[in-house]
A and B are shown apart, each in its own frame.
Chain A
Amino acid sequence: MNVFATLFAVAGPLIMLSPEPGQATTVEEDMVWTGGLRHAYFGDRPISQSDDMIVLKAPNRADDAAIVPISITAQIPQTDEQYIQTIYLFIDKNPGPLIGKFHFTPRSGRADLAFRVRVNAYSPIRAIAETNDGSLYMSRRFIKATGGCSAPAGSDLDAAMTRLGKMKLRTNAMSPVAEPMAAQLMISHPNLSGMQMDQVTQLYAPAHFVRHVKVSFDGEEVFSAETGFGISENPSFRFYFVPEGEGELSAEVTDTNDLHFMQTLQVAPAVSQDLVQN
């Protein structure tokens, strides 16, 4: 009855042969990907499966299916000659497998990214980097959803709705001028996948989630994203940008109800800042 028990029984012997310890893969695990997802998004384009371009970090076990922290670390700096322009994140077994597309520019400095996702079931999770010459590189991990009472839904929907659209933008700027500076954008939003009409309870909630994020420094884009409901409630994005001097970091967010939210932060490199507004 337990399909996962069968799956792991198969995976066992392969662990010894895997080039990446702890990242044994099986044909069964990847069936959603090979059976349609890959071709739907990338056709026959070659994808190099290695951690040479980006490294995806995800917990082996999702402690809370609603908030699973993941990060992607770029292995090359962003230069005008060579840079990562897009990172795709897929969780094969989620209702919407493409969690988001994240765009970077040479002004990003580093195409590093951290955020939180919902994980519905045991599933491969894969980050695919597309460089400016059109090459594709994939870093793949596997997440086990834990047992327990947690569900991908948020725990206090009313609290999230009350704060809808509140944003925090911060940098921990000890970094010198012209060096990549770490930044975080937080958006208070329920990021609802929507509920089905239930005949008994008559409950229905349409999907309502953040679908576009754009962050600019002095009017020039440094990070943007197209996102779905696989991003956790109250989305939080950590990323980098390169301030050439003092300037304004601004974030624009649009959700599926066409609500727009904005937040700005004055940034001066080499000065510590932790400014919270709204």
Chain B
Amino acid sequence: MPSIQHKFIAGSKLTIQLFCILFVDSGSSLAAPAACSAPAHVVQVASGVFVRPGHPAVVFEGQEIANIGFVVGDLCVAVVDTGASLAEGQALDCAIREVTDLPVCYVFNTHVHPDHMLGNSAFQRPGVEFVAHEKLPRALALRGDIYLERAAAHEGRVLDESIFVFPERTVTGIVELDIGGRVLTVRAHNTAHTDHDLSIIDKSTNTVFLGDLVFLEHLPVIDGSINGWISELDDLSGASFETVIPGHGPVSAPWPSAAGASLQYLSTLRQTVRAWIADGGDLASAQASIDQPDSGDWLLIDHYHRRNVGAAYAELEWED
């Protein structure tokens, strides 16, 4: 079991929320504020590895949804995901300053979803390199306009394309990056949660940011491939990570048991939807009739389960 050292840094949740209201997405000129008045609350999950806890909510209907964080090396800091807004990115940036004076050198985006990468522009400055899966730019190009519309429709947030920061470096396969005294293994995965999932392993502590390859508490959301995801989780289950940081749920979790809940939900769903298709049932009836499995205390079932049935159906109907 990893030892979890809770480190509370100045700034209550209320302060952060006020900050969000006042400054949320009011323009890129606010990136890299001179004074840090509202650092995010972060937790140290391993030596030099910090996580800002997320709280399950529907994208564009909440703030601080995903677990995001950073790793402090001897030379510089690597950020993993930046949150749902410029303000979240700025608060994370402030939290880094509370921990170290070292500059940020990398920002990794585990995938394209807005709760993970709309804070990117807070880190857009000289010396910071944005890194993502080779297929992330295409996914962002296909979805960017819709994300702007959703932010306006659901939150009244008026954003423009400056909120999107495309990666300067894209990853295929595995890349190792040294941040001084510690090497990060960055891996581009096959289609799973999305078609461009990226994981980051800090080799010195054997801690891994799995992004949304693994969900806890928050119902898994299929936006890539149910078959691919099950296969990727099966493979990852063979790894012996010391500490795993899931994209949603607690800031750290034991491995491989943390993969169990996501695997069980996805496997049961696949089995049920395959049977539905074999019986000639159509998509609408599958979505109306296939309930979530009894097992698991998932949050956001009402928002994402029917969607998952649809995504699974659309993929599995092409299996034979």
A interface, CB within 8 angstroms of B: 1-4, 57, 59, 63-65, 67, 69-71, 114, 116, 120-122, 145-153, 155-159, 163, 166, 172, 186, 188, 195-196, 198, 200-201, 203, 205, 232-234, 236, 238, 274, 276
Q: Is the CB of B147 within 8 A of A151?
A: yes
Residues of chain A within 8 A (CB-CB) of B306 are 63
Q: How far is the CB of A224 from chain B (nearest CB, A)?
A: 21
Q: Is the CB of A155 within 8 A of B143?
A: no
In whole angstroms, how far apart are the Cα atoms of A243 and B225 in the complex? 38
Residues of chain B within 8 A (CB-CB) of A121 are 149, 153
In whole angstroms, how far apart are the Cα atoms of A64 and B287 in the complex? 11
The main secondary structure of chain A at its interface with chain B is loop
B283-310: CB near A (< 8 Å → 1, else 0) gives 1100100000000000000011011001
Given contacts A1-B156, A149-B115, A156-B228, 12 further A-B contacts (CB under 8 A): A121-B149, A146-B58, A147-B58, A149-B59, A157-B195, A158-B135, A158-B195, A188-B318, A195-B142, A196-B141, A198-B166, A205-B138
Q: A63-B310, A149-B223 are in contact. Are A163 and B318 (CB under 8 A)?
A: yes
Q: A156-B195, A195-B141, A203-B137 are in contact. Are A147 and B154 (CB under 8 A)?
A: yes
Q: Is the CB of A201 within 8 A of B141?
A: yes
B61 at the interface (CB under 8 A from A): yes
In whole angstroms, how far apart are the Cα atoms of A196 and B144 in the complex? 11
In whole angstroms, how far apart are the Cα atoms of A65 and B306 in the complex? 12
Residues of chain A within 8 A (CB-CB) of B138 are 157, 195, 203, 205
In whole angstroms, how far apart are the Cα atoms of A58 and B155 in the complex? 25
Interface centre among B137, B154, B307 (most CB of A within 10 A): B307
Interchain residue pairs A-B with the least CB separation, the first 9: A1-B156, A153-B142, A151-B143, A69-B284, A63-B307, A63-B306, A149-B113, A69-B283, A64-B307
B311 at the interface (CB under 8 A from A): yes
Q: A64-B307, A120-B146, A172-B280 are in contact. Are A156 and B225 (CB under 8 A)?
A: yes
Q: A148-B59, A153-B142, A159-B225 are in contact. Are A234 and B318 (CB under 8 A)?
A: yes
B75 at the interface (CB under 8 A from A): no
Residues of chain B within 8 A (CB-CB) of A188 are 318
Q: Is the CB of B318 within 8 A of A65?
A: no
Q: Is the CB of A186 within 8 A of B317?
A: yes
Q: Is the CB of A114 within 8 A of B310?
A: no
B114 at the interface (CB under 8 A from A): yes
